[in-house]
Chain A
Amino acid sequence: MFRKLLPVVEHVVKGPVWDCQMCGQCVLHSTGMTCPMTCPKTLRNGPCGGVRPDGKCEVKPEMRCVWVKAHHRAESLPLLPKTWREEITHLRPPVDNSLEGDSSWLNLVSGRDRQTPAGWQEAH
């Protein structure tokens, strides 16, 4: 019951504020409190080369590039811990698609969101 209810609660909280896509492995703290899953290419490691000169998205010209926003916020958001600001440069692993729809809160507590494939661990 708790496992089913928690994703609903999480989506109610994070949806309106961050447009949370419920990837189940939240990295908001390391991306300037900007959800990378709202990037049309779902890029987890920085902006693609298609960002327009005015900082707008290649795919959705009406939208500011998610990563332009993320980098700006990582530097300028007040109250963001220094370690979180610096984490924007860390290499984030490929998305674990099996976690989609889960509560990232639960996966954070259990450590499930930090599990990566053996080949990734070997490289990093």
Chain B
Amino acid sequence: MLTKTATRAPPADADLALSGIVRRFGEVTAVAGVDLAVHRGELVTILGPSGSGKTTLLKIIAGFELPDEGVVRLKGEVITFAPPAKRGIGMVFQNYALFPHLTVEGNVAFPLEMRSVPRAEIRKRVAAVLQLVGLAEFSARLPRELSGGQQQRVALARSVVFDPGLLLLDEPFGALDRKLREQMQLEVKRLQRRLGLTALFVTHDQEEALVLSDRIAVMSEGRIEQLGTPEEIYAHPANWFVADFVGESNLFRGRIVADDSGRSFALIGNGVRIAVPKSSFVDGNDVGVLVRPERPRLLADGEVADNVARGRIVEVVYVGESVKYRVRIDAAQEILVRWPFRERGGKLAVGDDITIGWDVSDMHLVST
């Protein structure tokens, strides 16, 4: 399912279609050939570390940067070199970029005024969108008289008030504290759904990407490493980079060996042999073995699993709804596990010797 979505040619309902986008800055290739289709009403996140080219890509879509190669289509129309003002794209900037000399109302009315919408209609639409983001009674305020969350809502209202063909969000939650950030994430998603907006969201925060997105494009060194739903990205990362970057992980380097019965194993450090799921990797392939921290179980005496490891807890980190344990298996290997607080909280402590186990179905192999 993942590959089907990823490689489908820009279909009729693709609001935004990028093909072969390349952008170089001197010796550095910031964007190295990106294809991406965002469908109507879909929220796609470009997730990547800083320097991965995601911001450059966003600028190319908005028109603030031009690609050296490739084509940008919006609703079927080629806009590769169109000036930003003509693209009809709504954008929420990292620092909101609210006009400090205009009131909330003035800011939100701005894009409509630029489109010569009649005054009465401007007033109506501004009032409606301010109502939608819960700022109806703040319309006469200046941006500096608002809190960070309210400023963000104004920026959002301003970027959707003119029914843009596409909504771009450039790390808009970075400046907010955690609680407000989570609240705004949900609000943005609700608004995007409600207005049926096609949206492209750029972030380096993988948690945020998992929460918000219909699909995620994980980007690194100017390329999309993987495109898929949050579940696909998390459970079936396409390669080492994605496995490592998205979510917490136990990742071991290993080499595939098959035994006579046809089962697959991987040799990891110290000659340890662990059972791995069947895959397209063959004897002698170097692979990354991924076990997400919530997958291993605590084994009681006599219980079995495809892989069993004995170790000592060396660290306990309480993270609210769950507890993380760092378990030392031997001098070279540690495994991170995370169990719901309700199940194990307070019952295990540093220094405890435990046995954990996981099955091949709990594992995923990636190329190195």
* A-B interaction: no
